[in-house]
Chains A and B, each alone.
Chain A
Amino acid sequence: MYGKGLKPLSIATVAMLVVALSLVFFYAPLDADQGFIQKIFYIHVPLATVALIGFIVGGLFAIAHLRTGNSSWDAYSYVSIHISVIFGVAVLITGAIWAKASWGHWWVWNEPTLVSFLIVFLLYCTYYPFRYAIEDREQQARYASVFAVTAGAFVPLNFLAVRMAQSLVHPRVFATSNGGLPGSMMLTFLCCLAAVALLWTTLVKFELAAKSASGQVKRLRRAIGAPGSGSTSRIAPEVS
């Protein structure tokens, strides 16, 4: 059931990525100040936005799990956080490249957005050992949901605290007066954002479908008494 609509969604994602990347390289003007390296902005910022929204979406799924007790919400929550953590790694790498190119350092500590993203990322990295340490499946799902809700509330609060603590070096692309971005750059950025959001959705659906399929295979093997049906992931939730 998770595989339904996966093919059109994947095609739409690939098409959108192609459109967005061609806009980035052939349509959007070169940045007057930073030149070609500024193009990484079209990947870095959408990735960060989608990862953070993905963390919060994971928290919302966790709320649904706690309210209904339906374990498939837990699977949604787990996969949302999982894909967002992977996106988070990409955000930190692209961010470091951009920082090296435009500020001259791989990492800048007095930069609120960088630091708050790192803290959020570290917190969500502890989601895995936390889940792994609880053996009972039902309890594991419930505790993981409590974690996801707490961490979801933490994300905006953390950005507030870190931003207040430090200077404003990071480009405030949308906050400057009269819009900041010229129209052509804005269009490209929005296309990239849509493409990355689609990519996130597709990956989430793929992982859910894969988990569901392997769960079904395991159940079938058990039903016919086949050997070698062990070795399942103890971290990941089972999807029915």
Chain B
Amino acid sequence: MTPSRVAFAAILGKDLRSELRTLQSLPAMALFAITTFVIFRFGLDRTHLSGSLAAGVLWATLLFAAVLGINRLFVAEREEGGFDAIRLAPIDRSVLFTAKVTALLVYLLALELIAVPVFALFFLDSPAALGPLVSVLLLADFGLAATGTLISSMAVNSRARDLLVPLVLLPLVVPLMIAATGATEPLMAVGGPGYHRFGTWLMVLGLYDLIFALVGYAVFDFLLED
């Protein structure tokens, strides 16, 4: 039995390397996010956003951009026989889950590294909100990565992969979005960031992350059986 740490590093390294070489997901996600911001700029006809509107635009865009990446997360495993290889390999199968969650987390962070500054440039008066926003982004990304990996691994083996991911994922992440926008809204208030119920929302995000990481870890084995 290969130690889980080695297997984890191998799978994660394989994912990141193949993404770096093919650039299949990340550029598309970033481009989608930026285009969506432009559409919001004209759809809402505002040059400045604040409060709940800013939080909503930011999180809706990030979520839909994330769906693009989540859709493609297991495509290589499915089409190139990666699932069979994982089944044959003498490793704990849950390692695939943790490695994929980490890979998706890296994609999401890379996406936000591009999309959030662009958002601030387009819509925000001052970048003061971006500092505390990092904690919200990290916690929400982790929850999104855990649920996204779980749903993606289920959808990839079905006939309607591209359809199922948004269909099942969106209702599942509604609590996550409620908490993330709730925490972001006071940060982007007019006249500098506020912290109304900020800690409470971070706790809800943490609880969501914990529950879905545990559920995903517990049930993932059954998705690989064949």
Interface residue A130 (Cβ < 8 Å from any Cβ of B): yes
Using known A-B contacts A157-B211, A161-B208, determine if residue A130 contacts B158 with beta carbons closer than 8 Å.
yes
B179 within 8 A of A: yes
Which residue of chain A lies nearest to B223 when distances are taken between CB atoms in the complex?
A146
CB of A239, distance to nearest CB on chain B (Å): 21
Query: Cβ of A72 < 8 Å from any Cβ of B?
Result: no
Q: Is the CB of B225 within 8 A of A142?
A: yes
Contact B223 A147 (CB under 8 A): no
CA distance A191 to B219 in the complex (A): 38
Pick the contact of A143: B154, B172, B207 (CB < 8 A).
B154
Q: Using an 8 Å CB-CB cutoff, how does the interface string of B215-226 with A read, 1 for contact, 0 for none? A: 110110011011
B27: CB under 8 A from chain A?
A: no
Residues of A within 8 A of B172 (CB): 123, 150-151, 154
Given A129-B164, A158-B175, A165 and B182 contact (CB-CB distance below 8 Å):
yes
Q: Is the CB of B164 within 8 A of A150?
A: no
Pick the interface stretch among A12-20, A133-141, A206-214: A133-141
Interface size on B, residues (CB 8 A): 34
B88: interface (CB < 8 Å): no
Mask for A155-182, Cβ within 8 A of B = 1, else 0? 0011011101100000000000000000
Residues of B within 8 A of A149 (CB): 215, 218-219
Beta-carbon contacts of B132-170 to A below 8 Å, as 1s and 0s?
Answer: 000000000000000000100011011110011001100
Which of A83-125 touch B at CB < 8 Å?
A: 119, 122-123
Contact A129 B167 (CB under 8 A): yes
**Which one of A133, A142, A162 has the highest number of Cβ atoms from chain B below 10 Å of its Cβ?**
A133
Q: Is the CB of B179 within 8 A of A129?
A: no
Partner of A161, one of B163, B171, B179: B179
State in angstroms the CA–CA spacing of A158 and B179 once bound together. Answer: 11
Chain A residues closer than 8 Å to B223, beta-carbon distance: 142-143, 146
In the complex, A145→B219 CA distance in Å? 9
> Are the CB atoms of A162 and B178 closer together than 8 Å?
yes
* Cβ–Cβ contact B222 & A134, under 8 A: no
A150 to B218, CA, bound (A): 10
B11 at the interface (CB under 8 A from A): no
A126 and B211 alpha carbons, distance in the complex (Å):
21
Given known contacts A123-B171, A146-B223, A161 and B204 CB-to-CB distance under 8 angstroms? yes
Most buried by A among B150, B172, B216: B172
Q: CA separation between A160 and B175, bound complex, in Å? A: 8
Q: Would you call B174 and A147 a contact (CB within 8 A)? A: no
Please indicate which of the listed interface residues A146, A153, A162 has the most CB atoms of chain B within 10 Å of its own CB. A146
Chain B residues positioned under 8 Å from A151 (CB to CB): 172
Whether, in the assembled complex, B200 has its beta carbon less than 8 Å from a beta carbon of chain A, the answer is: yes
Interface centre among A129, A151, A161 (most CB of B within 10 A): A161
A interface, CB within 8 angstroms of B:
66, 119, 122-123, 126, 129-130, 133-135, 139, 142-143, 145-147, 149-151, 153-154, 157-158, 160-162, 164-165
Known: A123-B168, A135-B159. 4 other contacts (CB 8 A): A143-B223, A149-B215, A157-B211, A158-B175
8 closest Cβ pairs, A-B complex: A161-B175, A133-B158, A123-B171, A133-B160, A122-B171, A146-B219, A134-B158, A126-B168
| 5 sample A-B contacts, Cβ–Cβ < 8 Å, listed by A number | A119-B174, A130-B164, A146-B150, A157-B211, A160-B175
